Amino acid sequence: MTYWIITVAIVAIALCIIAIVAVGMKGSLGGRAPELANVMANTARHLNGDADPPQGLVEFFEEIPDIRPKSADSAAETPKH
């Protein structure tokens, strides 16, 4: 059962990538569906890191507490027993 779920997920991801390339990144289907092409081009910019992250995502990560050590020195110290 898990095999089928993973297979469907991989196929869905592949179809999304094909849609981004075919429609959003100046592909041949961009003229037929301009609204979809705009959304896919924006998605491609976000995936490439060219666009600013969405405000909702930024706010989500600001709510997560930072549990990392405050400095590199504290990471290099060995625990005292």
pLDDT at residue number 2: 86
Q: Output the CA–CA distances (angstroms, integers) from residue 73 to 4, 30, 68, 70, 76, in the order listed.
A: 47, 52, 12, 9, 5
Amino acid found at 74? S
Q: How far apart are CA 42 and CA 49, in angstroms?
A: 11
pLDDT at residue number 11: 95
pTM beyond cutoff 0.85:
no
Q: How far apart are CA 37 and CA 43, in angstroms?
A: 10
Q: What is the DSSP letter of 28?
A: T
pLDDT one-digit tens code per residue, 21-61: 766 556 666 677 778 778 777 877 887 888 888 788 888 88
